[in-house]
Amino acid sequence: MMEIIMLMVMYMVGNIIFVSKHKHLLIVLMSLEFLVLSIFFFFIMMLMYFDNDLFMLMIFLVFSVCEGALGLSILVSMIRTHGNDYFQSFNLL
């Protein structure tokens, strides 16, 4: 029971950081990876509790690695074109 409470706290802290720190792209990407890590630990606990196959975790890890690589490529291209990772200097229109 204590592990589930810890995972919920991890998830809530990640959400709070994601919502409040929207000035730098790098901080947003780090909070997203923290959220993915907490969801991954939750999947491990639930799948081991129900004695299911852990193959689904490999698929989840593949998608989370793809998400991280895509975020880093966006960060690198933004730094190359604009010189920083501030959202104020990045015009979405």
Q: Is residue 92 part of a domain?
A: no
Q: Where are the alpha helices (DSSP H) in the chain?
A: 2-20, 25-49, 55-82
Q: How high is the pLDDT of residue 85?
A: 81
- Identify the H or E element spanning 53: none
Give how far Cα 77 sits from Cα of 1, 2, 72, Å.
43, 42, 9
Q: How high is the pLDDT of residue 90?
A: 65
Q: Is residue 90 part of a domain?
A: no
Number of domains in the chain: 1
pLDDT tens for the chain, 93 residues long, are: 888 898 899 999 989 988 887 788 888 889 999 999 999 999 988 888 888 788 889 999 999 999 999 999 988 988 888 888 887 766 654
Q: Is residue 93 part of a domain?
A: no
Q: Is residue 29 part of a domain?
A: yes
Q: How high is the pLDDT of residue 92?
A: 58
Q: Is residue 57 part of a domain?
A: yes
- Contact in structure between 87 and 23 (CB atoms under 8 Å): yes
Q: Is residue 35 part of a domain?
A: yes
Domain hosting 17: range is 2-82
- Contact in structure between 47 and 56 (CB atoms under 8 Å): yes
Q: Is residue 89 part of a domain?
A: no
DSSP string, 4-26: HHHHHHHHHHHHHHHHH--SBHH
Residue 34 maps to which CATH number? 1.10.287.3510
